[in-house]
């Protein structure tokens, strides 16, 4: 069964450092997303990406965040200068069909900012 | 701001019982609702969705009920199994037109005892 894969599974970084989280969405999907979940809190939408550009982004997704699809398979989330409050589980998701919210999520990348 | 929330944070049932997980939403413009399941250490997994022009939708062992009058959503799981133990999230499209930008509730922990 096709799946979304994410790397790394866990990253520990110092405050102020840049972090890149990587995702390989399901190959024939066209819509890509990043969500995050702070420990014990809700899953929150960060950004959606379609046709090589950002479709929508949340208030959380400020100038410190960026996304990129550098080739035909990878989808990355970059945090330029991490803050303590960026510590969370980051989920990548992809969607293949129009008209459905059936997102396929990866297992997440846990980011710990010290 | 608008939010999707849950009545009960935990639900404990015996194997074979039926489970009902409830969710209240506040955005009257929301027209698309989804249930996700999240097992420990994994990303959310799509269970079932429903559009606002319906009040009931059935899947395999699951039924989603939508009451737009009182802005209430429920997930019924028939013959609950230990493998159903997980956190269950309701989510909606928060009145938007995108199916991928979802607002998640806080989650209900379902524990199924053998």
pLDDT in tens, B22-52: 999 988 888 899 999 999 888 999 999 999 9
- The two tokens of residue B106 are 């806080």
Distance of residue B101 Cα from the nearest chain A Cα, in angstroms = 6
Q: Which residue positions in chain B have pLDDT lower than 70?
A: 1-8
Greatest extent of chain B over all pairs of C-alpha atoms, in Å: 42
DSSP B33-51: EEEEEE-TTS--EEEEEEE
Closest CA to B79 of B56, B57, B62, B59: B62
Closest CA to A108 of A93, A95, A86: A93
Closest CA to B22 of B35, B40, B39: B35
Closest CA to A18 of A87, A91, A80: A80
User: Using a CB-CB distance cutoff of 8 angstroms, which residues of chain B are in contact with residue A56?
Assistant: 96, 98, 101
Instruction: Dump pLDDT digits (tens) for A8-31.
Output: 999 999 999 999 999 999 998 999
User: Using a CB-CB distance cutoff of 8 angstroms, which residues of chain A are in contact with residue B102?
Assistant: 45, 101, 103
Q: For residues B16 and A110, give the distance between their C-alpha atoms in angstroms, rounded to a whole number.
A: 35
Q: Output helix, strand, coil percentages for chain A, rounded to the nearest 5.
A: 5, 50, 45
Backbone angles phi, psi at A8, to 5 degrees: -75, 170
Instruction: Dump pLDDT digits (tens) for A45-78.
Output: 999 999 999 999 999 999 999 999 988 789 999 9
User: Using a CB-CB distance cutoff of 8 angstroms, which residues of chain B are in contact with residue A55?
Assistant: 98, 100
Contact (CB<8Å) A45/B42: no
Contact (CB<8Å) B43/A44: no
DSSP 8-state class, residue A41: S
Distance of residue A3 Cα from the nearest chain B Cα, in angstroms = 11
Q: Which helix (H) or strand (E) holds A42?
A: none
Q: Are A92 and A33 in contact (CB under 8 A)?
A: yes
Q: Which helix (H) or strand (E) holds A74?
A: none
Task: Answer whether residue A37 shows pLDDT above 50.
Answer: yes
User: Using a CB-CB distance cutoff of 8 angstroms, which residues of chain A are in contact with residue B46?
Assistant: 101-104
User: Using a CB-CB distance cutoff of 8 angstroms, which residues of chain B are in contact with residue A100?
Assistant: 49, 99
Nearest CB to B46; choose among A4, A55, A103: A103
Return the residue matching tokens 């250490």: B41
- The two tokens of residue B34 are 């989804």
Query: Mean pLDDT of all residues in chain A?
Result: 93
Distance of residue B112 Cα from the nearest chain A Cα, in angstroms = 21
């Amino acid at each position: 069964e096709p799946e979304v894969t994410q790397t790394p599974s866990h990253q520990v970084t110092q405050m102020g450092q840049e972090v890149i989280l990587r995702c390989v969405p399901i190959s024939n999907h066209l819509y890509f997303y990043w969500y995050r979940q702070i420990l014990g809190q809700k899953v929150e939408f960060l950004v959606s990406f379609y046709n090589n550009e950002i479709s929508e982004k949340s208030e959380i997704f400020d100038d410190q965040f960026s996304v990129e699809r550098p080739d035909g398979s990878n989808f990355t989330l970059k945090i330029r200068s991490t803050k303590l409050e960026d510590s969370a589980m980051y989920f990548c998701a992809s969607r293949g069909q129009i008209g459905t919210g059936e997102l396929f999520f990866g297992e997440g990348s846990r980011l710990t900012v010290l | 701001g608008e939010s999707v929330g849950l009545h009960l944070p935990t639900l404990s049932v015996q194997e074979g019982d039926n489970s009902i997980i409830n969710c209240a939403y506040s955005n009257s413009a929301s027209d698309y609702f989804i249930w996700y399941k999240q097992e420990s250490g994994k990303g959310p997994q799509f269970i079932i969705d429903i559009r606002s022009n319906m009040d009931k939708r059935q899947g395999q062992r699951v039924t989603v009920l939508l009451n737009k009058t009182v802005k209430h959503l429920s997930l019924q799981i028939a013959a609950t199994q230990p493998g159903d133990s997980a956190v269950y999230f309701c989510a909606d499209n928060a009145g938007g037109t995108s199916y991928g930008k979802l607002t998640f509730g806080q989650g209900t922990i379902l524990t199924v005892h053998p």
